[in-house]
């Protein structure tokens, strides 16, 4: 019997016998090249990642192989997965009042479009979203003269509830991505003129940190203390994700 167990060690690895999680790959590259840049990512925490490019939503496995894809109108933004549905923030313009903001809802299985819901409260352009405790939270653009950001809260049917104010100072073009993980909110921003690339807030949306690192094109939680952060590479537009871990001083650092 002992000999049989020892024969399994090269296949399973010693950690597998003790119930340890397998190590994350160094990166996952999304198959293909797209018309617009990556706007956000989502995932089920097990075996699937969703990638929202400006005109295209893509579903892949953890080797980056395409399982499904769907084209949509400009400008698809950051996304979130809730149950068996994929929610994509969309707007026709950004960083000025009066945007036509909506949420496109797709089947998480085959990416067929299920419905579209208006969210006009995101007046500067809905750019991203995530969910917490059955509610959805939408972020987006910001005119240059504003010194605070806004997070719009909705119930599970996307009925508007309230607006939260983040006293962040100005961030270039508002907030690009939203991720609720490890009981905190992580907001990715573009960096310009010294503005932060990452805002961190507690579960009540009280700002608790601002950092230089910029997960502006995608961030998702993947187990306790673990994230995938999106990056561009190569020709326009190709994307990948790399593993990250939280850090008190820097916000996020490459995972070991």
Mean pLDDT over all residues of the chain? 92
Q: What is the pLDDT of residue 25?
A: 85
Task: Assign residue 191 the CATH number of its domain.
Answer: 2.130.10.10
The answer on pLDDT for 6 being more than 90 is: no
Distance (Å) of CA 224 to CA 41, 53, 88, 201, 239: 18, 27, 25, 17, 24
Specify the pTM: 0.91
The verdict on residue 16 lying in a domain is no
3-state secondary structure of 7: helix
DSSP string covering 78-105: EEEEETTEEEEEEES--SSS---EEEEE
In a domain, 187, yes or no: yes
Q: What is the pLDDT of residues 19-70, one digit of tens each?
A: 445 566 899 999 999 999 999 999 999 999 999 999 999 999 999 999 999 9
Residue 14 has pLDDT above 50, yes or no: no
Sole residue written with tokens 């503005």:
195
Does any domain span residue 22? no
pLDDT tens, residue by residue, 50-63 = 999 999 999 999 99
pLDDT score for 2:
34
Q: pLDDT category, 256, cuts 50, 70, 90?
A: confident
Structural domain for 164, as ranges: 29-245
Residue 62 resides in a domain: yes
- For the chain, what is the domain count? 1
pLDDT (0 to 100) of residue 22: 53
b/e per residue 120-134 (b: at least 16 CB within 10 A):
ebbbbbbbbbbbbee
Task: Check: CB of residue 10 under 8 Å from CB of residue 17.
Answer: no
What was the pLDDT predicted at 13? 35
pLDDT bucket at 183, cuts 50 / 70 / 90: very high
204, part of any domain: yes
In a domain, 83, yes or no: yes
Render pLDDT for 198-207 as a digit per residue (tens, 0 to 9).
Answer: 999 999 999 9
On whether residue 256 sits in a domain, the answer given is no
**pLDDT tens per residue across span 212-241:** 999 999 999 999 999 999 999 999 999 999
Residue-level pLDDT at 15: 35
Q: Is residue 116 part of a domain?
A: yes
- Reply yes or no on whether the pLDDT at 1 is more than 90: no
């Amino acid at each position: 019997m002992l000999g049989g167990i020892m024969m399994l060690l090269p296949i399973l690895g010693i950690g597998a016998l003790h119930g340890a999680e397998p190590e994350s790959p160094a990166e996952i590259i999304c198959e293909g090249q797209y018309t617009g840049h990556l706007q956000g990512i989502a995932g089920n925490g097990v075996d699937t990642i969703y990638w929202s490019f400006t005109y295209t939503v893509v579903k892949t496995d953890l080797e980056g192989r395409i399982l499904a894809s769907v084209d949509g109108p400009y400008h698809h933004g950051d996304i979130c997965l809730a149950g068996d549905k994929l929610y994509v923030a969309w707007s026709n313009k950004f960083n000025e009042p009066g945007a036509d903001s909506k949420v496109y809802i797709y089947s998480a299985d085959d990416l067929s479009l299920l419905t579209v819901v208006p969210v006009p409260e995101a007046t500067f352009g809905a750019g991203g979203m995530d969910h917490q405790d059955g509610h959805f939270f939408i972020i987006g653009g910001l005119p240059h003269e504003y010194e605070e950001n806004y997070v719009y809260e909705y119930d599970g049917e996307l009925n508007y509830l309230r607006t939260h104010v983040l006293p962040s100072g100005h961030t270039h073009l508002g907030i690009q991505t939203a991720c609720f993980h490890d009981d905190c909110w992580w907001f990715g921003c573009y960096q310009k003129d010294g503005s932060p690339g990452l805002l961190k807030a507690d579960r009540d949306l009280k700002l608790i940190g601002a950092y230089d690192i910029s997960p502006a094109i995608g961030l998702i939680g993947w187990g306790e203390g673990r994230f995938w952060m999106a990056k561009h590479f190569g020709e326009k537009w190709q994307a990948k994700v790399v593993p990250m871990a939280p850090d008190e001083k820097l916000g996020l650092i490459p995972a070991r």
